[in-house]
Every structure is written in structure tokens, then in C-alpha cells.
Amino acid sequence: MTRTLRTLLLAGAALTTAHSALAQTAPPSEGTEVEEIIVSGRFIPDVIRDTAEVANFLSVEDVQRAGDDNAAQALTRITGISLVSGKFVYVRGLGERYSQALLNGSPLPSPEPLQRVIPLDLFPASILAGTVIQKTFSANYPGEFGGGVIDLQTVGTPDEAFLKVGVGIGGDTETTAESRLTYYGSETDWLGFDDGTRKLPVGVRQFAASRPVVVGSATGGLTTDQYKAVARSFTNAPLNVLQRDKMPLNGIFDISGGQSFDTDYGRLGAIGVLSYRNGWQTRKGVRQTTVPDSGGLALATDATFEANQNDIAWSGLGGLAWESGDNEVRYTGLWIRSTSKRARITSNTAQSQGNANVNAYNSEWYERVLQLSQLSGKHLIGDWELAWRGTYGRTARQAPYERLYRYGLSATGASTALLSGANQLVSFSDLDENIGSANVDLAYDLPVDFVRQAQLKVGAAWQRNSRTSVRRDFTYDQGRNWDPLRYAGQRIDYLVSDRNINDDIILLRELTGSSLTGDAAMYDAG
């Protein structure tokens, strides 16, 4: 029985082989000469099988095929990756403490004042050559992560010269050509650059750059004339008045080019990428909070909101590379600037504030800039592979004129300006972080025969961070000539006008570091 089964199996294998051969070409007849037989094939490497760690890989083809606009969107297609607030990427659902983002193997600074996580929506897909998501430790990555590492790889020098130009427009049925919230801002907002309208007010810079805005005879206090000059120097209508306007189309522009050529000293290559994106997004929703009640829970706030946001992003990448034999040296320079312009209205039934209805109005402008320079190299020295990197990065975040003002609405619909606490808030915040790092990695293939592959790896890294975050908060309050029946119903730009300031109807008060705003966003760190 065993012999018969073995014979059948061998016969089946022979038939399968013969069938496979027939599928390629008919066998030559007897006496026919065969001069040449060519068998062609293609090797497609599998990077997942080649690595000893638990990892996922996202190639540039994957990003292009899915049409993702930035790194944050692309990474959501990887198992075990979650996207928070549309820009923060966490591995395995763990928070920022257990995830780390790198660029070409080097750590990145964060433009978020109270977080170390990197907002990956900063990185457009056009500058990425791929991404490695590694969930276990290896010697060539920093050892401070517990959840995983996201290593973004930027495009390198090409094998052949190329030039690509891309232009695109788009829209959606909820925002494009619809009447949505916005505010004027400055003439150059559409480019993502402020023309100076949002600079720290000249009065603050002149009289209170390094001291609080306090009027009176106290130490460091301002005279009455200085104080009123400070209050009048705040930009008013362009940043305070929310309005509705028809939204334009979204736009995209990309241009990239590169070339490589051979010299007597090796192969040289260069690449450049420039990208611009401008898009609008509308959001509407409901927010509710509860308080304990005798019957269980009761509504404390019941709010509906409408928000409109304009995101403008610029990015540029330049790269140079030199290759000679088993040696490669590469320089990468990266510049990214992202701006968000937001307008929001929240209608809130807030019983705790003693008003039947409270409307909150917000106008905001956020600038985030990331600059990075990296010099790296790879060398084969005998049986050793040497890789090294030196990187300097800087990030900055500015949020000038974060404006919040509240009006209470009576049962008849009349509006009343709220001038207590922080109901008329104007904030300026600025973050600057610098990071320097150096890495060196060594790998050696062990000459062993009893396993498929054995490699010895060792790595060392140095890193230094410094961060400064500053913030100043101001509010408008009732002056000695305040008359609620006459002034409380005024529109916001009339309410905080120069005339009301001069006549002591409205006064400016600094809240920086007070219990109303806190001081968590003000610190020096290293």
C-alpha cells in the first residue's frame, strides 16, 4: 500500500512538472536542434520577510495609489495605527508617551506647546519615499519608545532625470460655494502668511514688552496715557468681526525635479520638491456636559457649534547625494509651513453662567513651521556596515490674536456683552524648540551556517532639546463709565473701539498667569 501511494505521488509530481513545461513551450520534436533557451523572471523583495522586527512598511506606491494628501492620512491604512484630531498618530492606540516619530532615523521637534507628539499632517505625501512603522526594539532606533516608532523616509536622488508638475482643484458639497463663517484677517491670508496685522500690538511692544499691562502707581505700572495707547493698539474689526462668505475651491500645486550624473569622483545627484495646498473645511455639531442630579444626571451645557477652517500649507525639500562604490553621503534640507485660519460660533445654554443662552465667538490663526537639516552616510568597511547621521531641527508655533468673546441672549433675543472673568479673551502664544541629534549604527553579518541569517547590531545616539513657550492673555472689562443699557448691546468692534477706551467705558486688563487662564503654556525646558 505504501509503495503504491508513493508511486502515485511521484507520477503526479512528474505530470505537474510536464504540464508546467508544456505551458511554457512545446517540447522539440526528435532531431530538432535547440540553440538557446531563455528563462526570464523578476525578483520582488519582501521587506517584511527581510526584517527580524515586527514592522509594517508603507511605500510611495501605496500612498500614490490611495491618493493620500499627507503622512497622517496615509498611516491610518496601517493596522494598529490610530489617528487623533486628524493629525496625531499613535501606535497600537497608545498615547504620545509610547510613540515616537523620526525623519530618516532622526528625532523631530514638536510644535505643540504641551505635547511631545509630532502632528504628521505637516508632512505632505509628495516628499515621502516611504514609512517604516516598527513595533519592537532594534539597535538602530532610540530605546525610549514602548509602543512603536514611525520613521518617515524622504525622497532621495533619482536614477534618471525627471521633472513633474501637478495642479489640482477640488471641493465638497458642504463647504465649496456655500456661505460659511470666516473673518477678514489680512490681505495675504490666502497665502498662509500674515502681513503684520496679527503682530503683538505696538503698544505692548513699546510700553509693556517685559512687564504686565497694569495702570497705576505700582512698580512697573503704566501711566494712563501709556495704558490707553496699549489698549488702542490692538487690531479690532479685521480680527474680531465674524461674517459669512462664499467659500472658494480647494487648490493644490506640486513641482518636483531631480537629476543624477557620473563624475570621476563618483555619482552625484540632486532633487527638489515644492508644494502648496489650500483647503476649506466646515464642521457642525453638538456638545453637551452633565452634572449630578437627584434623578441621575442633568444637562449642564447644551451647545451647538459651527466652525469653518482654512488650511494653507507650504513645503520644500532639497537633497544632494554622492555615491562611490560602497560609500554614500547624503544631505537633506526640509522646510514645512502650515497655517490654520478658523472661525467658530458656539450657541450654548449655560445655566451655570446665569444666562438663558450664551453665544461664544472665536477667531484663530495658527502658524506651524518645521525646519530640518540632516547629513548622513552609509559605508561598507570590510564585513561591517556603518551608518551615521547628524541632524539639526527647529520648530516654531505662533498663535497671535486667539480671540474669544461671549454675548448672552435674553428671552427676547437681545444680546448682552459679558464683561466678567475671561469672557473677552485675547491671547498671544509663541513656541520655539531646537533639537540636535547624532546617531551611529554598526551591523556585522555573522558567518554561521546553521541559521538562515545572523547579524550583530550596535547603535549609539546623542540628542539635545531646548524649548521655550510664552503666552500673554488679555481681556476687556467694564470701565468706570460703563452703562450696560447703552453699551452692552454694541457689536464687538464698536464695543472695544478706541472711542470706548478713551472715554473709560471699556478697559483692557492683562490676565497672563492668573487663575482664569493658568500658566501651563509658559515655560523653559531642556
The pLDDT value recorded for residue 25 is 52
CB-hemisphere CA count at 13 Å for 329? 7
pLDDT in tens, 239-252: 999 999 999 999 99
Average pLDDT, integer, range 471-480: 93
The pLDDT value recorded for residue 446 is 86
Average pLDDT, integer, range 182-193: 95
The pLDDT value recorded for residue 426 is 95
- Give the pairing of strands 296-324 and 179-182: unpaired
The pLDDT value recorded for residue 28 is 56
Edge-to-edge strand order for the sheet containing 99-103? 55-59, 128-134, 148-154, 99-103, 106-107
Q: Is the pLDDT reported for residue 309 higher than 50?
A: yes
Neighbours of 475 (CB within 10 A): 23
Residues in the chain: 526
- Give the pairing of strands 99-103 and 148-154: parallel
- Give the pairing of strands 384-409 and 455-478: unpaired
Average pLDDT, integer, range 90-117: 77
The DSSP letter of residue 126 is: G
Of the candidate ranges 183-187, 238-242, 370-374, 455-459, the one whose mean pLDDT is the lowest:
455-459
Residue 14 in grid coordinates: 512528474
Percent of the chain at pLDDT > 90 equals: 46
Alpha helix ranges (H) inside 25-125: 47-50, 60-66, 71-75
230: three-class secondary structure by DSSP: helix
The pLDDT value recorded for residue 72 is 77
Which structural domains are found in the chain, ordered by start?
47-154 (2.170.130.10), 181-198+235-525 (no CATH)
Average pLDDT, integer, range 463-474: 92
Average pLDDT, integer, range 103-112: 83
Select the more confidently predicted residue: 391 or 523.
Answer: 391
Neighbours of 76 (CB within 10 A): 13
Average pLDDT, integer, range 50-79: 72
Mean residue pLDDT of the chain comes to 83
Residue 326 in grid coordinates: 560602497
Q: Where are the beta strands (DSSP E) in 183-326?
A: 243-246, 250-263, 266-293, 296-324
Average pLDDT, integer, range 401-419: 87
